[in-house]
Structure 1
């Protein structure tokens, strides 16, 4: 299983958070996604090793590397990037195998 974690920092979180969140729900419904979670930073204790600076996170689970690769070229995913890329100042992606 591949876990694909995406962290978004938005230029204007007050104006754009809901639109990006809604876009994340659409891309998470693509055929290659087995499950997903969307959320904001947790209200956990502030510690030196914890990064609460992002505005939104999407975690997507794939059954295989091939499913991940199909997701990357899925028209729904490509449209999400095109529609929302101007809203974020930074995106970080972490992929790992479980």
Structure 2
């Protein structure tokens, strides 16, 4: 019964998941911009830059591409299958964003 509820949740709450994903992505982008500014400052003054930060920034870029892909498909979601897929993808991206945010707190 649990898997059925889980899949129905993706279908019914896909708009909520997309909104939550957008909110978390805005927060992540703000953090990314701050890290990029810090990285540029360190580069300008020839300070050592962490490879972990560069890897973190690459992960954020990958997530941002996934979010853009979802936004291209959101407006075409007439069918239930597409809504389910979008809800599931948005939920997974939210989990990725949370994971990357936790990594950021460990890296810095």
TM-score where L is the length of structure 2: 0.32
Please identify which structure carries the higher helix content: 2
TM-score of the superposition, structure 1-length normalised? Answer: 0.34
Structure showing greater Rg: 2
